[in-house]
């Protein structure tokens, strides 16, 4: 199959997103690099997050919703002792620093148990969630009350490493639509010391792995034929 036929039928591009870009930024740069207008992504990553972004290009764009619904895996660090307005390190502090000395291994594990299995989760106030045609972050930035709209999510794995100077490493595998930022914030509330998401990296979407992804800048530098070769390119 030649390059033009492959693009017509569709291809998935596995991209390792750098920090500081929105998922839409990555899509736009992929469009410019490939000359393809029809590209979408299968699950938003916040600007601070890095890792796997699955781009559905050409004929594969019709499958975007299918890939978006797949379970996703992440690794990262939760910072105890400080809640923020956005539930991550980019947000304004929500109150003073708090002592997390009482958060020992047993207390952390008991609190974490509430975030395994199925449970109801409310999206962060600073999120792209829409109600009545308006996004939550638009309302939050204007100081308006953001509605509470819990949604059932599922966490099949939530493993925590040892706490080191208020930094709590973790790995998680969860259903589509789960906000890891909310888990970080709510874990801090359960522990009574506040917390926010300090780092986040997506490691998988379904069976697709970040190890097979191409860093965005490397992807942009490839020629057409190289860009369509695996493992970062998967024909559909």
Q: In the chain, count of helices (H) and strands (E)?
A: 8, 13
* Separation of alpha carbons 116 and 158, rounded Å: 6
| Predicted local confidence at residue 131, as pLDDT | 73
Element holding 191 (H helix, E strand): helix 180-191
Superfamily name with CATH number, domain 3-69+207-235? Pseudouridine synthase (3.30.2350.10)
Residue appearing with tokens 């299995």: 117
For the chain, what is the largest distance between any 2 Cα atoms, rounded to a whole number of angstroms? 62
Q: Which residues are catalytic?
A: 46
Q: Are 187 and 170 in contact (CB under 8 A)?
A: no
Q: Which pLDDT belongs to residue 4?
A: 62
Q: Give the start-to-end residue ranges of the domains of the chain.
A: 3-69+207-235, 72-205
Average pLDDT, the chain: 90
**pLDDT tens digits, 65-95:** 888 899 999 999 999 999 999 999 999 999 8
Report the 10 Å Cβ neighbour count for 11.
23
- 3-state SS string for 20-61: CCCHHHHHHHHHHHHCCCCEEECCCCCCCCEEEEEEEEHHHH
3-69+207-235 shares its CATH topology with 72-205: yes
pLDDT of residue 76: 98
Ranges of residues in the chain whose predicted pLDDT is under 70: 1-8, 136, 147
The CATH number of 72-205 is 3.30.2350.10
């Amino acid at each position: 199959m030649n390059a033009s036929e492959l693009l017509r039928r569709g291809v998935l591009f596995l991209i390792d997103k750098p920090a500081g870009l929105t998922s839409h930024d990555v899509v736009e740069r992929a469009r410019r690099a490939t000359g393809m207008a029809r590209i979408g992504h299968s699950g938003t990553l916040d600007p601070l997050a890095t890792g796997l972004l699955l781009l559905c290009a050409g004929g594969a764009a019709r499958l975007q919703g299918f890939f978006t619904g797949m379970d996703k895996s992440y690794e990262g660090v939760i910072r105890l002792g400080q809640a923020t307005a956005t539930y991550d390190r980019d947000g304004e502090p929500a109150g003073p620093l708090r002592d997390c000395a009482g958060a020992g291994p047993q207390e952390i594990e008991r609190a974490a148990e509430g975030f395994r299995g199925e449970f109801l989760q409310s999206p962060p106030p600073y999120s792209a969630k829409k109600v009545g045609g308006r996004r939550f972050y638009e309302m939050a930035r204007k100081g308006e009350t953001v509605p509470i709209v819990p949604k059932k999510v599922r966490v099949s794995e939530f493993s925590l490493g040892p706490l080191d100077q208020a930094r709590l490493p973790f790995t998680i595998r969860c259903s589509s639509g789960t906000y890891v930022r909310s888990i970080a914030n709510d874990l801090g509330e359960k522990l009574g010391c506040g917390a926010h998401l300090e780092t986040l990296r997506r490691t998988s979407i379904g069976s697709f792995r970040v190890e097979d992804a191409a860093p965005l800048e490397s992807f942009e530098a490839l020629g057409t034929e190289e860009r369509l070769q695996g493992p970062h390119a998967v024909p559909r």
